[in-house]
Structure 1
Amino acid sequence: MKLFSKYISKTIPLFALALYSCSNDKAEQRKQREGLDDRKQPNILFAISDDQSFGHTSFGGSEYIKTPAFDRVAREGIYFSNCIAGSPGCAPSRSTIVTGRYHWQNEQSGQHASSWMKKHIPFIDLLDANGYVTGRTGKGVAPFQYARNEQDSLWRATDAGGITYSNISYEKGSPGDERTAGGISTINYFENFKYFMENVRGEKPFFFWFGAHEPHRSYEQDSWKRNDKKTENVKVPGFFPDREIVRGDLLDYAVEIEWFDLHLQRMLTYLEEIGELENTIVIVTADNGMPFPRAKANAYEYGIHVPFAVRYPKSFPGGRIVDDMISFADLAPTILEVTGTSPEGMLPVSGESILHILKSKETGIVDPSKKYVFTGRERHSSSRYLNWGYPQRAIRSQDFLLIWNLKPERWPAGAPQRIVKGTTDQLWPMYGLDDMGIHHSDWAFTDIDAAPTKSYIIENWQDEEINPFFELAHGKRPEFELFNVQNDPFCLTNLTGKPDYEETEEEMKRALMKELTRSGDPRIVGPDKEIFDSYKRYSPIRDFPNPAE
């Protein structure tokens, strides 16, 4: 992966040392004006996109996605090459971010479209109690059902990502509507951030959650054509067929990533203009991987490995690429430590602070003691009989990814056939293909978002060149899968059972089981190992036939 070249260190001319004493007072005045007093708690801007895989920034090597704001944070700060999301789906992953706990520890508050219980206190509440002013724009910790009225007495009333204080939006068709594609949210993220800073923040340190809805689907198909994009620049992942429709789909995805980055750029520029940037820790990441087949909602690299960069040159030496394994479970304890906030009131966290890595001057592996990180999934969309999920647990090291598919008899992308809405026994055709061979995404494999790439693969599943891609995305999988992610980032070659990897496989299985047991995963320790499938879903439910009949 092509990253950035070595930064150039600057030297201080000898004569400048003689001027130090007379300029010291002015430097101190400048520091105070710009909010750089070392005694101040740092501000935090937390920016999170919705569905973006690790390599999809220009800093990370992409030639068809331009992300100058992310690149600046990564170039001037610390770029983490091995950040693993809490889950390959948004709700459980975001749950891990704010609680510092694996999603399987958070009961229904770690499961897609279920309810958020009061006892799962996010670190943001503790910042509020420690003198911070917190706020949010866009998507918070969602989708969850929060309290609707007093009868929901056990549920949290407000989004665990913070409070939105304004709802400044674009109006479709108005002169000020600068959106570059039809699928982009109407929320004007930057203006809402600016409102918070000028009308809510006051003189206190702030934590602000910028949660873009992009690049979550749906997209305006072919929006790339008016956004200066070219299909020849696209690098197609190895689990997709290299076809023009797939390249176009990836470019529409790129357009939405760049929209997220544009608003981040405006926030950085604004903070710089008001003298607050150097006293603000900027964290940029994504909740899970790209919304394409075999990526999002899958524990493969393109589902769980996300971009991650932190900028705070005042205390975190920049210009570094760090290869340490870090987990979303590490974010809450890190933010609590850096702000001097006690975790008292939160349930016990599973992550570990990475503040010592941030403060280090080293590159590469800074702290080799953390050999593994862990992730997994349960339910995503309503995609199987009785709303069953596809439980996975995964362990990732520097070189290897081991996935445990706990229910290999289930379809990983959702059932291939659905009951017609409003009936009890009528079925849509297999794979969602109508009599004309046209694919209907909501009829089958509904853990994969509707997408031109999905439809193309399914409509051509019998073609001998396309069928392998169909099987990769939709076919049933073995109980265990092991991949060398350095040599095989697309996770195409399963190494389980191979003699050369037997020792690695067994060691990772033991480490995974040890951590799942330690963290009290109900799938392992019970007493109800199927409890995740019993949590109520508050989003629409689809009906599927009983696979046993």
Structure 2
Amino acid sequence: MTITTIRNLAACLLLCLLSAACAPKKKRPNILMIMSDNQSWNHAGCYGDKTVRTPNMDLIARQGVKFTNAFCSSPSCSPARAAMLTGQDIWRIEEGANLWGVLPTKLKLYTDLLEASGYELGFQGKGWGPGSFTANQRKRNPAGNEFNNFGDFLSARKGAPWCYWVSSHEPHRPYEVGSGERSGIHADSVQVPGYLPDCKDVRTDIADYYAAVETFDRELGGILQQLRESGDLENTVIIVCSDNGWQMPRGLANLYDFGTHVPLIISWPGKFRENETTDHLVTLNDLAPTFLELGQVAVPKEMTGQSLLPVVTKGQAAPAREYVVLGRERHAFVRQHGLGYPGRAIRTQDYLYIRNYEPDRWPAGDPPLYGDIDPYMLHYPGLAKCYIMAHKDSAAIKPFFELGFAKRPAEELFDIKNDPDELHNLAADQRYAKLKDSLAAKMQAHLVATGDPRVTGGRLIWDTTGYFSEIDKTPRPSPEAQRQFKLDSVYNYLK
């Protein structure tokens, strides 16, 4: 090869490199996430519920990809949102694994990374929380810059791509008793799951919850209308989801599906698949790497979530996960000295295996308040919880009380396909011993690989770390609850 040839090849190579460097980057999309608060996956029209009316969720589902196996990392607001922001399992985020705590500043958040890359950032509502972002010297909520509403954010934007989180209050308790009936939802039309008694009070409670879901859907419709009017619709990825499951016994704060299984819909008409349903096993942790990839930002290696773009993008194929692993530490301050109810779970397409690390503790919180079931200090009406408590000694209701309130064994195993209400624990059934051992081994391997101190022997901080809601430590049930259940006027969990 002559010197001239070598020089010509070098020149061509340099020209190619310069051309690649100077080529314009693909336009980065806006990212709009609308999150409900405590909505189980199956309570929307597009997920098959025939009673609750959710036309706006249904519209986004027709325009995008609906996930039928989406889960939060933890069935508790703060850790579920912290895991989503960090893209990491809760046992990797230290104090962030608890409700009403802090989110360590050393953790990388997708919000901060997008903002550093040029995105305009905003949120409304809870964002990350409940907790204290000032207790560890954060200058703002980890969700970003707070706005009163989406319209204010749109008016303030300056032309850069943006990422905005609408964090709705709905359908979080308390509900106004009878609000479902007044909104046209008849109690006899709701479906009562097998872990709750089928009675008037429970049906009314579910109908009131449905009314709150419908309020969320109307909020979603208003946000979508503002987006259309802004002119940004065409270049905006829309995500509709919830942070965790509904506030019923065996729901919120539990590793059963009713606490962890959430709706998730992702839409970008013209770019993503449309009117499709996927049963891929995913978690909200996957949203952080997804958003970063959309924003052309490098995904930090410590993120355990996986981008969902191969699942939703036209012409791409994504390998299916065999399982997801979830966890629970302290939810509310509802046991003496602030003890939690730690557990881990592995969920496949067909089975759920749960390991309860402290089975001698009360999973629903110490009696008589059972505060991990809302209303947590019995300070406002909660028809389902109160009905079960009031009738717990009757033969008909006692099984429901034991399902939702009583102590649990160290291991639980459920056949999701044949027992969708997760009523029958198969962990002690020898016919399932091989399956149980296999699931336990897979979960253990995942926990070791991701550094969970529950299995690696690391320092356990979650029973003693700060809890920034002082009123929860000395709960005061309402006068009505005091009379009904013969309760004291105040309890002290600090003794």
Q: TM-score under structure 1 normalisation?
A: 0.79
**By how many angstroms is 1:369 displaced?**
4.2
* Equivalence for 1:459: 390
Partner of 1:405: 356
SS at match of 1:136: strand
Contact 1:279–1:314 under 8 Å retained in 2? no
2:137 pairs with 1:155: yes
Contact in 2 for aligned 1:53/1:286 (Cα 8 Å): yes
Residue 513 in 1 paired to residue 470 in 2? no
SS in 1 for 2:164: strand
- Partners of 1:507 and 1:539 in 2: CA distance: 40
Match of 1:58 in 2: 45
CA contact (8 A) 1:64 1:251 kept: no
The 5 A counterparts of 1:79-478 are: 79-147=66-134, 154-165=136-147, 167=148, 192-198=149-155, 200-343=156-299, 348-360=302-314, 367-416=318-367, 431=368, 444-450=369-375, 451-478=382-409
Residue 65 of structure 2, aligned match among 64, 75, 78: 78
Partner of 1:49: 36
Contact 2:361 2:407 in 1 (8 A): yes
8 Å CA contact 1:327–1:374 kept in 2: the answer is: no
Pick closer, same or farther for the CA change 1:517–1:155 going to 2, 3 Å.
farther
- Cα deviation 1:139-198 (Å, max 9, x = unaligned): 100012112xxxx5x432211112113x3xxxxxxxxxxxxxxxxxxxxxxxx1012112
Q: CA deviation at 1:229?
A: 1.3
Paired letter, 1:90: C
Task: Give CA deviations for 1:186-237 in whole Å, capped at 9, x if unaligned.
Answer: xxxxxx1012112x21211111100001111111111122211111210001
Code of the aligned partner of 1:359: T
2:415 pairs with 1:484: yes
Unmatched segments (≥5 aa) in structure 1: 1-36, 168-191, 417-430, 432-443
- Give, in whole Å, the separation in 2 of the partners of 1:500 and 1:301: 23
Structure 2 SS opposite 1:395 = strand
Q: Equivalent residue of 1:389, what SS?
A: coil
Deviation of 1:360 after TM superposition, in Å, equals 4.2
Aligned residue type for 1:481: E
Q: Which amino acid aligns with 1:411?
A: W
Q: Give the match for residue 15 of structure 2.
A: none
1:539 aligns with 2:469: yes
Give, as a single letter, the amino acid of the residue that structure 1 aligns with 2:138. Answer: R
Q: Could you tell me whether the CA contact under 8 Å between 1:117 and 1:155 is conserved in 2?
A: no
CA distance in 2, matches of 1:246, 1:361: 46
- Amino acid of the residue matched to residue 87 of structure 2? G
Deviates more, 1:60-69 or 1:301-310: 60-69
1:301 Cα deviation after fit: 0.8
**Structure 1 residues 456, 272: CA separation in 2 closer, same or farther (over 3 Å shift)?**
same
Tell me, yes or no, if the aligned pair for 2:185 and 2:207 is still in contact at 8 Å: yes
Task: Identify the residue that residue 453 of structure 2 maps to in structure 1.
Answer: 522
* Matched-pair identity in %: 38
* Amino acid in the other structure paired with 2:220: L
Q: Is the 8 A contact 1:46 1:284 kept in 2?
A: yes
Distance in 2, matches of 1:266 and 1:336, equals 27
For residue 89 of structure 2, what is the amino acid of its counterpart? Y
Question: Structure 1 residues 545 and 324, CA, compared in 2 at 3 Å: closer, same or farther?
Answer: same
Partner residue, 1:10: none
Shift of 1:46: 0.5
Q: What is the CA-CA distance between 1:288 and the residue it aligns to?
A: 0.5
Deviates more, 1:271-280 or 1:258-267: 271-280
Task: Tell me by how many angstroms 1:527 deviates.
Answer: 2.8
For 2:442 and 2:342, the matched residues in 1 are separated by 18
Does structure 1 conserve the Cα–Cα contact (< 8 Å) formed by 2:245 and 2:251? yes
Structure 2: distance between partners of 1:358 and 1:115: 33
Q: Are the structure 2 counterparts of residues 360 and 404 from structure 1 closer, same or farther at C-alpha, using a change threshold of 3 Å?
A: farther
The answer on whether the counterparts of 2:154 and 2:230 sit within 8 Å (CA) in structure 1 is no
Measure how far apart 1:497 and its partner are. 3.0
Shift in Å, 1:131: 1.5
Alpha carbon RMSD of aligned pairs, Å? 2.0
Which secondary structure state, in structure 2, belongs to the residue aligned with residue 356 of structure 1?
Answer: helix
Query: Match of 1:448, SS?
Result: coil
Matched position secondary structure for 1:532? coil
Code of the residue aligned with 2:130 in structure 1: it is P
Residue 289 of structure 1 aligns with an amino acid whose one-letter code is G
Give me the whole-angstrom Cα distance separating, in 1, the residues matched to 2:409 and 2:102. Answer: 32
Counterparts of 1:162 and 1:414, CA distance in 2:
33
CA contact (8 A) 2:93 2:103 kept: no
Asked if 2 retains the 8 angstrom alpha-carbon contact of 1:88 and 1:303, the reply is yes
Quote how far apart the aligned CAs of 1:94 are.
0.4
Paired residue type of 2:371: T
**Aligned partners of 1:225, 1:496: CA distance in 2, in Å?**
41
Q: Tell me the distance in 2 between the aligned counterparts of 1:43 and 1:503.
A: 47
Please give the alpha-carbon distance, in whole angstroms, between the structure 2 residues aligned to 1:122 and 1:268: 26
Partners of 2:281 and 2:320 within 8 A in 1: no
Which whole-Å deviations, capped at 9, do the CAs of 1:34-91 have from their partners, x for residues lacking one?
A: xxx9932111110111101010001111122111111111111000000011111101
Task: Provide the rounded CA distance (Å) in 1 between the counterparts of 2:427 and 2:182.
Answer: 46
Give 1:157's aligned amino acid: K
Alpha-carbon separation, structure 2, partners of 1:241 and 1:38: 57
SS in 2 for 1:59: helix
C-alpha distance in 2 between matches for 1:313 and 1:350:
28
Kindly state the Cα deviation for residue 269 of structure 1 after the two structures are TM-superposed: 2.1
2:33 aligns to what SS in structure 1? strand
